[in-house]
Amino acid sequence: MNKEDLLQQKIIIWFKNNYQMHQKGLIFAVPNGSSRHIAEAIKLKATGVMAGVSDLIVLMPNEKCFFIELKAEKGIQSEVQKQFEQKVKFLGFEYKIIKSLDEFKQTISGY
């Protein structure tokens, strides 16, 4: 696992233990990364998988929704990720780039 995968795993475990199990929120991953066989990639694209979509989506009470892009300490967004961020913000949702579990906790605290 790379650093982003490990961060995602920590976030999922922490959130499920502190929010989801108490029905205070919902978190899920968007499996749009990694290498795939060409036939699988074609099928996924045809069924709606889209490049640049954030790694996680977090739904909180009161119609609060976060799109979370995870990056290693020195990681940067690709151009297609930046385009997705712009679309999300234009539609009125929050988009966050998260580089640590503590940063994630701060982002969703208060919801």
Summarize pLDDT for 8-18 with one digit per residue, the tens: 999 999 999 99
At 8-58, the pLDDT tens digits run: 999 999 999 998 878 889 999 987 766 678 888 788 788 888 889 999 999
How many CB atoms are closer than 10 A to CB 67?
22
User: What pLDDT sits at residue 20?
Assistant: 80
- How confident is the model over 70-84, as a mean pLDDT? 95
Kindly tell me the sign of the dihedral angle through the C-alpha atoms of 106, 99, 3, 27. positive
Please report where in the chains the tokens 């929120």 appear, as a residue: 25
Burial of 2-20, coded b for 16+ CB within 10 Å and e otherwise, reads eebeebbeebeeebeeebb
Instruction: Report the distance separating Cα 46 and Cα 43, nearest Å.
Output: 5
Task: State the distance between the two ends of the chain, measured CA to CA, in whole angstroms.
Answer: 30
- How confident is the model over 54-75, as a mean pLDDT? 94
- Residue ranges of alpha helices (H) inside 1-56 are 3-18, 38-46
* pTM for the model: 0.87
Please say whether the beta carbons of 47 and 24 come within 8 A: no
Architecture of domain 3-108: 3-Layer(aba) Sandwich (3.40)
